[in-house]
Amino acid sequence: MQPGMLPEPVTRFAPSPTGLLHLGHAFSALTAWSRPGVCLLRIEDIDRPRCRPEFETAIFEDLRWLGLRWPEPVLRQSDRMEAYAAALARLIALGACYPCRCTRAEIRAALSAPQEGVASDIYPGTCRGRPMAAAGPGDAIRLDIARAQALAGPLQFTETGPLYPGQHVADASALGDVVLARRDIGTSYHIAVVVDDAAQGITEVVRGVDLFEVTPLHRLLQALLELSAPSYHHHRLIRDDLGRRLAKRDDARAIRRFRADGASPTEVAALVGITLPG
Ligand code: GLU
């Protein structure tokens, strides 16, 4: 499907086939499909060892059972590694990246050192400034966030969701020097998501509010890669009875458990506060 050929807004639902879809996914999917225009389905499977074909099949089945349909072919991120590598190469050519050889244990130790003050999980910058020419095969690639933001200049993003509507300053500095290419898979969610949102002509990203804080980074990568910038609609998260956000391990909340127990799509939608038409 060529970007620009679809009725707008074009949004998407982008699950990872690492487990069964649960009520939180049902809410996200129904929210995305309730927008006017068209909703695309994307399978986010860059983390191959954690993904299973049977979970991908279950995603299709559960979404169809909910009454949702999408244009084919479905984009699968594992088919797009070359596009992600090209985007990374561009960021490297801009001088916005450096190779990082720190292990998790080293980063943890640096962060808990007394002189660092309050512990945080922001990368302390140990490898910042290492030249790309010094990159070893086992290195991760990080974005030098200060340099990247200086290159891009001031940025904003538009939020259309009900939680934080309006224009937001896109300042990603609080995230620190994030990993753009993991040493195990050579890319990252952040690269894949901006490259694919642009390639699919997405005009409005509907997703959980847990990703609101990384949106400034996505806006920054879009600017550096000269990609189109969609608007964002971050929705509330579905929580369990103890107020914890649902995770893939919450099989009791899996859509297919409700199906097996005889619930209808309308009843499952009602559990997350959505009234299905008809
Ligand atoms: N693949 C992500 C997830 O399953 C969604 C990322 C996004 O919508 O940007 O949570």
Shared domain for 52 and 108, answered yes or no, is: no
Expressed in angstroms and rounded, the spacing between residue 177 Cα and the centre of ligand 1 is 21
Residue 200 burial (CB count, 10 A): 21
96 and 44 both lie in a single domain: no
| CB contact at 8 A, 58 and 256 | yes
Domain span holding position 246 = 1-79+239-278
> Any alpha helices (H) in the chain, and if so which ranges?
23-34, 53-65, 81-93, 104-112, 145-152, 189-199, 215-224, 255-260, 265-271
Last residue of a domain, one of 167, 198, 229: 198
Q: What is the pLDDT of residue 116?
A: 47
CA atoms within 13 A on the CB side of 1: 22
Q: What is the pLDDT of residue 3?
A: 60
The reply to whether 7 and 44 lie within a common domain is yes
126 and 147 share a domain?
A: yes
The answer as to whether 14 is a domain residue is yes
User: Ligand 1, from 11, 12, 16, 77: best to mutate by most atoms within 8 Å of Cβ?
Assistant: 16
- Residues lining ligand 1, Cβ inside 6 A: 14-16, 44, 193, 207, 211
Cα(220)–Cα(226) distance, integer angstroms: 10
Gap from CA of 127 to ligand 1 centroid (Å): 29
One domain for residues 150 and 250: no
Q: Give the domain CATH number at 17.
A: 3.40.50.620
The verdict on residue 3 lying in a domain is: yes
* Ligand 1 atom closest to the CA of 206, numbered from 1: 8
* Residue 173 maps to a domain: yes
Cβ contact 235:207 at 8 Å: yes
Q: Does 91 reside within a domain?
A: yes
Residue 218 belongs to a domain: no
* Residue 138 and residue 105 in one domain: yes
Note whether 86 and 71 are same-domain residues. no
Could you tell me whether strands 10-13 and 38-43 are parallel, antiparallel, or unpaired per DSSP bridges?
parallel
In a domain, 221, yes or no: no
Q: Are residues 71 and 27 in the same domain?
A: yes
What's the pLDDT tens digit per position in 169-201? 999 999 999 999 999 999 999 999 999 999 999
Using the 3D structure, point to which of 143, 173, 198 is the last residue of a domain: 198
Structural domain total, the chain: 2
Ligand 1 pocket, mutate which of 13, 23, 33, 44 (most atoms under 8 A from CB): 44
In a shared domain, residues 3 and 105: no
Within a domain: 56: yes
Query: Does residue 116 share a domain with residue 73?
Result: no
pLDDT in tens, 56-95: 999 999 999 999 999 999 999 999 999 999 999 999 999 9
Q: Classify residue 37: in a domain, yes or no.
A: yes
Contact 268/63 with Cβ under 8 angstroms?
no
Residues of the chain with pLDDT under 50: 116-119
